[in-house]
């Protein structure tokens, strides 16, 4: 490997590391909605150069987690009820389409992967919030990844992240998750394994809308 290749690889690695860290900080609310994201402050926080931070912020604008403010820099994307309801509507519509396609293409390999992801999610719940969130997304994406429509799956993944940001912002509220989320996941899994697209999609949309109704009420307070 020559010096130029090594330098390029280091910059790529630094950009990816900065992107992942900033993305996580925005999704969890550590960098709150609307906060200005100053390059110098972030490079000191992440212990990296200005270029990887700037490139990471540009990538996050494509994820709709960061907004570019004309010539004034960047800020964490603001949140609002109208934005949340649009995300929820799109998520329900696109995931219903993807889940129906997954079930239409159902095979043993997909079913085994779905059961495995569900098992990992249940085990991760015992280890804490961070592990559970990774496993939770993996289960929901596994429901959809047999659709054989990679663009649709990518949109669904992005909408999941945008939605989860709102859930994280409301997670500290005392009345959050007073229902059995585990039971809802189990019902969705069983319907998918039974290849019952009507029941599976109805359960999935109900699962999202129940959380959505709670989060929407929080924004009215």
3-state secondary structure of 29: coil
Q: What is the CATH number of the domain that holds 8?
A: 1.10.10.10
State whether 13 and 95 are in the same domain: no
Q: How confident is the model over 66-120, as pLDDT tens digits? A: 999 877 799 999 999 999 999 999 999 999 999 999 999 999 999 999 999 999 9
Question: How big is the chain, counted in residues?
Answer: 221
Closest CA to 55 of 111, 21, 15, 106: 15
Phi, then psi, of 68 in degrees rounded to 5: -90, 130
Give the three-state DSSP class for 167: helix
| Residue 181 and residue 201 in one domain | yes
Cα 29 from Cα 166, distance rounded (Å): 9
**Of 76, 103, 129, at which residue does a domain stop?**
76
pLDDT at 125: 84
The mean pLDDT value of the chain amounts to 89
Do 200 and 136 lie in a common domain? yes
115 in the same domain as 192? yes
- Please tell me whether residues 27 and 102 are part of one structural domain: no
Identify the domain boundary among 22, 55, 76. 76
Same domain membership, residue 144 and residue 66 = no
Which CATH number is 163's domain given?
Answer: 1.20.120.530
Contact criterion met (CB below 8 Å) for 50 and 181: no
* One domain for residues 193 and 97: yes
Q: Is the Cβ–Cβ distance between 12 and 52 less than 8 Å? A: no
Q: What is the pLDDT of residues 124-145, one digit of tens each?
A: 988 876 788 899 999 999 999 9
pLDDT of residue 94: 98
Of 76, 97, 127, which closes a domain?
76
What pLDDT, on a 0 to 100 scale, did the predictor assign at position 177? 57
Same domain, 19 and 120: no
The total number of structural domains in the chain stands at 2
206 and 106, same structural domain? yes
57 & 121 share domain: no
The DSSP line for 35-95 is -EE-HHHHHHHHTS-HHHHHHHHHHHHHTTSEEE-TTS-EEEPP--HHHHHHHHHHHHHHH
pLDDT at 6: 42
**Domain range for 41:** 3-76
Is the domain of 69 the same as that of 91?
A: no
- State whether 118 and 216 are in the same domain: yes
Neighbours of 137 (CB within 10 A): 16
């Amino acid at each position: 490997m020559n010096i130029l290749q090594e330098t390029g690889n280091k910059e790529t690695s630094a950009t990816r590391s900065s992107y992942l860290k900033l993305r996580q900080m925005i999704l969890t609310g550590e960098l709150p909605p609307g906060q200005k994201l100053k390059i110098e402050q972030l490079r000191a926080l992440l212990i990296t150069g200005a270029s990887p931070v700037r490139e990471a912020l540009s990538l996050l604008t494509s994820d709709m987690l960061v907004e570019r403010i004309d010539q004034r820099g960047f800020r964490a994307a603001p949140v609002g009820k109208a934005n949340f309801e649009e995300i929820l509507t799109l998520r329900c519509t696109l995931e219903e389409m993807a889940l129906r396609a997954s079930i239409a293409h159902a095979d043993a390999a997909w079913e085994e992967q779905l059961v495995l992801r569900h098992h990992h999610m249940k085990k991760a719940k015992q280890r804490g919030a961070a592990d559970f969130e990774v496993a939770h997304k993996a289960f929901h994406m596994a429901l959809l990844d047999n659709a054989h429509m990679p663009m649709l799956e990518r949109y669904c993944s992005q909408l999941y992240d945008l939605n989860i940001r709102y859930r994280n912002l409301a997670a500290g509220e005392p009345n959050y998750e007073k229902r059995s989320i585990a039971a809802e996941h189990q019902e969705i899994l069983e319907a998918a394994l039974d290849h019952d697209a009507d029941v599976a999609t109805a359960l999935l949309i109900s699962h999202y809308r129940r959380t959505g109704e709670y989060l929407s009420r929080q924004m009215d307070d």
